[in-house]
A and B are shown apart, each in its own frame.
Chain A
Amino acid sequence: MSGRSPWLLVCLLAVCLPAAGADVPAARLMVKPLLCVTERESDVCSMNFDIRWKSTIAAEYCLNDSAQSTPLYCWARALTGTHSHKREVKEAFIYWLGAPGGAQRAAEVKIEVLRLDSADRRRDRRMRHVWDVL
């Protein structure tokens, strides 16, 4: 039994003590717009994102783009924040809010891409069935 005690202590410490940077308070992140619609001629959306966040605990937050390694913007001990981000969108990505230098996400919003043109042009076949009027 005594042989297990050091391991038990390690386990308890691991559970009870938060890892550095993992204590980012939860927040609410709102982004508009959320969808990019592309087609053959224009497969990139030029979008102006209106990004807002709110938290109940004032803390340092950084706004991140999953497609970039560095934060877009950081706020010092704030409860709310707004940011405008102009971006060209070709693939789905995620805006996320976290502590500076941390990987834990307080909130995230996915920006989706809908491609109207398919690599398989057979999917654009037009039917003429009685029920098919779309």
Chain B
Amino acid sequence: MLRFIMHAFGNFLKIGALWSVVALAHGQATDPASNAAPATTAPVFALPAPPESHWRIGAAFGYGQRTNPLIQSDDIPVLVDLDIAWFGKRWFFDNGDIGLTLFDRAHSTTSVVARLNSDRVFFGKTNTEYVNFAYAGSGEVTALVDPGTGAPATEPVEVVPPDRDYAIELGVETLIDGDWGSAALRAFHDVSGTHGGYELSAYYSWRWVTGRFALTPSVGVSYKSAALNDYYWGVQQDEANLALPEYHPSDGFNFEGGLQANYYLNRNLRIALSANYERLADDVAASPLADEDYVLAYFSGLAWTF
């Protein structure tokens, strides 16, 4: 128990230190003849807006996909996009994330958030295969060589993509907005003892609205520590074989860009299009476990917000 408390306390200290680094980075007429009335112009009449519901529940139905950079794995189809969230004064639940808001200021909101690591999603649909080549990273393959003889191996080698666990990550998140757009700064550390690493990220988006149409471009960058990258994208000694060499990626930056387009049919229903491209860090892309150096996600469909 004492060890667990000390471990958790240590994680809080790390998150605090990480957040310090992130925080530094931001500072009446009648016309019977035609019955067509002349145009009139009325002044603005503003009534107080009704309070927002604590709940936000929505569902989108359509077709989309998130590519999977992991070898011997299937892309992830997205036919339904669910949105279940609850926002209280302090606490909130947002599609699996649980948060406690510490500060809510005019232009920023800072919360402590617990979440599940997103890299794990790629390890859910994998296939065991027998291959007669060796994975060389970045989607490249090389000849399968018998280390004993140095000659090309004749028998195919079984490759089982390694299993990875979900990591519970705890961190601090600051959301900032203004006329210039919206930004999110995040610092998260593993508190489940799964990968023992951390992630820092910054994300910016700007929404342009005309009529019923809204377009939101976005960019983001995330830094992932060596421990995090190594847990998910490294090939450990006990997982390595002729076709899957041992590999340990270092830390690195992922970059992403996205575009969302929405056409609002009414207050609840919209036509939604979305695309997001993420470039994986060089050391992750070079992993024998990586078949592609990017993740592309897209979706188009009808979205309903209750």
Contact = CB atoms under 8 A, between A and B. Distances in A.
A62 B28 contact: yes
B46 A37 contact: no
Contacts of A115: 49
Q: Which interface residue of A44, A78, A83, A125 has the most chain B CB atoms within 10 A?
A: A125
A31 to B, nearest CB: 14
A124 B175 contact: yes
A83 B34 CA distance: 11
Contacts of A34: 266
A114 B48 CA distance: 14
B207 interface: yes
A121 B109 contact: yes
A88 B87 CA distance: 31
B85 A38 contact: no
Interface string A55-86: 00000001101011011111111101111111
Interface in A82-134: 82-93, 112, 114-134
- A: interface residue count bin: 35 or more
B214 A129 contact: no
A90 B205 CA distance: 24
B279 interface: no
B303 interface: yes
Contacts, number: 174
B1 interface: no
Interface stretch (B74-82, B131-139, B232-240): B74-82
A4 interface: no
Nearest to B207: A39
A85 B36 CA distance: 12
Given A35-B267, A68-B45, A73 B101 contact: no
B29 A132 contact: no
Interface stretch (B10-18, B150-158, B176-184, B286-294): B176-184
B183 to A, nearest CB: 10
B140 interface: no
A134 B42 contact: no
A85 B43 CA distance: 11
Interface in A28-64: 33-35, 37-42, 44, 62-63
A116 B214 contact: yes
A73 B28 CA distance: 5
Interface string B195-225: 0000000010101010110100010000000
9 contacts: A44-B44, A73-B40, A84-B38, A86-B41, A122-B101, A122-B175, A123-B56, A131-B81, A134-B272
Interface of A: 33-35, 37-42, 44, 62-63, 65, 67-68, 70-78, 80-93, 112, 114-134
Interface of B: 28-32, 35-49, 52, 56, 60, 64, 66, 76, 78, 80-83, 85, 87, 92, 94-97, 99, 101, 109, 111, 118, 121, 124, 173, 175, 177, 179, 182, 184, 203, 205, 207, 209, 211-212, 214, 218, 260, 264, 266-267, 272, 274, 276, 297-299, 303
Which 7 interchain pairs have the tightest Cβ spacing? Answer: A67-B45, A130-B121, A73-B37, A84-B39, A83-B37, A133-B299, A91-B47
Given A78-B35, A126-B218, 14 more contacts: A40-B179, A41-B179, A63-B37, A65-B45, A73-B37, A74-B30, A81-B37, A83-B36, A91-B46, A121-B109, A127-B97, A129-B95, A131-B80, A134-B260
